[in-house]
Chains A and B, each alone.
Chain A
Amino acid sequence: MVKYTSLKRKEETFGWKLISPTLILIGFLILYPVLYNIYLSFFKVSLNFGEKNTFVGIQNYLNVLSDLSFWKSFGTTVAFTLITVMGSILLGLGVALLMNKKFPGRSIVRGLLLFPYVTPLIAIVFSWKYVFLPIDGPLVQFLSIFGFNSGTDMINDPNNAFIVVSIFNIWRNFPFVYLMILSRLQSISDDYYEAAELDGASSWQKFLNITLPELYFVIGSIALLRGIWNFYKFDEVYLMSKFANTLPIYIYEKAFSGLPQQGVAASIATILFVVMFSLIGFYVKKVLKW
């Protein structure tokens, strides 16, 4: 018995040893910065080395919350998240249903479908910009065949940039959704469908009454993950168009360009974080029913 417990203790310390590098790194570079961010949000942060930060209380928050441009980009971020999450899930679901059928050349198509997701962002951004060029761009030329001749700059116009960035995000991320849904689809037993066929169910009824309920949780979880990621999405938006004005870009510009106001940026990040946390809590309870 004594030997057993000492063995167990040995295992336990060994386990802790194995995990400790991870814990130290994550603690120091993720958890601590999150707390430090909250701390910074109450200060006017100095950028000169050795100069102290000045405590300003909730002034940063008051400034942000009374700033109209903050609310505007907040709205943009929410819209961007909703559109891209719904768009990528609808497209991903459709594609997964298509790819669940056997057809000649399926493996090639499947390989191609991963392209948008695995291609380095910086490589693909330029070809999107080229495709959307306002005067000579292939898309504009193509659309003009059908009589659409807008000639507007879709990317560098704050009114449209949002649309292009949303389409781009859906294009880039639907393969992830499709992969997750497909792997769940393939694990649904054929028996259900055979039974339903015997009862004379149409394809649509089968989809509605068997497939969708089986996919409920996987879709719910994907929506959560994609929601979190797209709410924070910086690089895909910023590199496509600086004019899309979502909150992460707003934070970045406040913190690192012009006259940096890092305290203000920290308070925006904190607000973003609190909103995110409460939305996730609500979602996990109501939608995923955990």
Chain B
Amino acid sequence: MVKKKSFIRTFFFWFLIVLLVTFVIYPFLWMVSVSFRYDTDAFDKGLIPKRPTLNAYEELLGLKKSIREELSNEDKQLLDLVKNMPEEQKKKVLEKIYSKRKKNSFPFLRFFKNSLLLAGISALISVIISIFGAYAFSRIEFSGRSYIQRGVLLVYLFGGTILAVPLYQIFVKMGMTNSGIKGMLSLFVIYIVQTLPVSLYMLGNYFRTIPETIEEAAIIDGCSRLKVIYKIIIPLSLPAIVTVFIYAFMIGWNEYLFASIFIRPYPEFHTLPIGLNEIFNSEHAIWTKMMAASVLTAVPVIILFMTMEKYLAGGLTTGGVKE
């Protein structure tokens, strides 16, 4: 009797696990599957591609020219055409054609580079600033500390939705919206601030777990507080710092709202979220390429997270978490 009940239970348990895993990875399976197909097979039934190919990836990464470019041998024909034109006119015509062609392409690598730069640098600065702030929170007693700590928490109540209009107005007044580079700069600053509260809390909580006696010994030996941070705190909390960096990086890598406000008019500066979404809503959307781009956007981040999973779970649950 007991055995039978436990058999049903085990069966039910595994049924739930299978259901759960299916629910979680179903969209991912399709993403990967479609990314390995030819454009014409995008809607084939069944998860496993019948004619698997790396075509979409090769085109995205610029390893292979798109069919159109290859077939028409455009460059050569073009140069033949304009050969006899006057220099000035030649330049103009070529420029026009190249810019049009650029519009038709799928500049995935450029989006990727922009995102990497933006998310990477803002996360780095955010982590550096918050190492000092978190150290002050966890070790140094000063009046007003608890108010500031609670004040930083308050930031949770101000989502991007509320900040969008006033921040846009502020940056307009500062003349920061009329070029792509300035838009990018605005985003740097905004992403740093958006990630600061999380970084502060996660790091602060980690610093508190480092025994204070180590620092005291160093201070008695004549180390200044600043030196303590460099020589003891940072090396000892490196995994936590890397985790916080990844988390902050992820916020910048994901951000859509502010990117769409500040850099949408400047295609050269599009990040992955804004660039891919613009392409998706244009006539150049091709499912295989969209999926391959999705895989390439996701894989680096997923790998980063999986390697840091142990620390991440701890950081998520002990620290404040902000999206």
CA distance A19 to B298 in the complex (A): 34
Of A24-32, A158-166, A204-212, the segment with at least 4 beta carbons within 8 Å of chain B is: A24-32
Q: Are A127 and B27 in contact (CB under 8 A)?
A: yes
Known contacts A115-B302, A176-B316, A234-B160; A25/B24 CB under 8 A: no
**Do B302 and A118 have beta carbons less than 8 Å apart?**
yes
Q: Report the separation of the CA atoms of residues A12 and B144 in the bound assembly, to the nearest whole angstrom.
A: 10
A15 and B136 form a contact (CB under 8 A) = yes
Alpha-carbon distance between A40 and B16 when the two chains are bound, in angstroms: 52
Whether a CB of chain A sits under 8 angstroms from the CB of B291 is: yes
Q: Which of A229, A232, A238, A239 has most B Cβ within 10 Å? A: A232
Q: A25-B196, A118-B250 are in contact. Are A235 and B256 (CB under 8 A)?
A: yes
The reply to whether B297 and A120 contact each other, CB–CB distance below 8 Å, is yes
> Which residues from A are CB-within-8-Å of B20?
95, 98, 109, 113
For the complex, would chain B's binding face be called helix, strand, loop or mixed by DSSP majority?
helix
Within 8 A of A (CB), among B187-218: 189-190, 192-193, 196-197, 200
Q: A21-B129, A113-B24, A120-B297 are in contact. Are A180 and B305 (CB under 8 A)?
A: no
Closest chain-A Cβ to B167's Cβ sits at a distance in Å of 5
Q: Does B30 contact A (CB under 8 A)?
A: yes
Given contacts A37-B162, A136-B43, whether A119 and B225 have CB atoms under 8 Å apart is no
From A16, A127, A141, A273, contact of B162 by CB (8 A): A273
Chain B count of residues within 8 A CB distance of the other chain? 90
A277–B189 alpha-carbon span in the complex (Å):
26
Asked whether A22 lies within 8 Å of B294 as measured between CB atoms, the reply is: no
Q: Looking across the interface, which residue of chain A has its beta carbon closest to that of B26?
A: A131
A126 touches B290 (CB 8 A): yes
Whether A26 contacts B301 in the complex (CB less than 8 A), given A12-B142, A225-B156, comes out as no
Bound CA–CA A233/B23 (angstroms): 23
Q: Which 3 residue pairs of A and B lie closest in terms of their CB atoms, listed nearest first?
A: A232-B159, A15-B142, A33-B166
Q: Which residues of B contact A (CB under 8 A)?
A: 13, 16-17, 20-21, 23-28, 30-31, 34, 43, 45, 47, 129-130, 132-133, 135-137, 140-143, 145, 148, 151-152, 155-170, 172, 175, 189-190, 192-193, 196-197, 200, 225, 250, 253-257, 260-261, 272-273, 276-277, 280, 287, 290-291, 293-295, 297-298, 301-302, 305-306, 309, 312-313, 316-317, 321, 323
Q: List 28 A-B contacts (CB under 8 A).
A: A12-B140, A14-B136, A22-B196, A25-B129, A25-B193, A49-B172, A98-B16, A110-B309, A113-B20, A114-B306, A118-B250, A119-B302, A122-B294, A122-B297, A123-B31, A123-B298, A126-B280, A126-B290, A127-B31, A130-B34, A225-B321, A235-B255, A235-B257, A248-B159, A262-B165, A262-B169, A273-B158, A273-B162
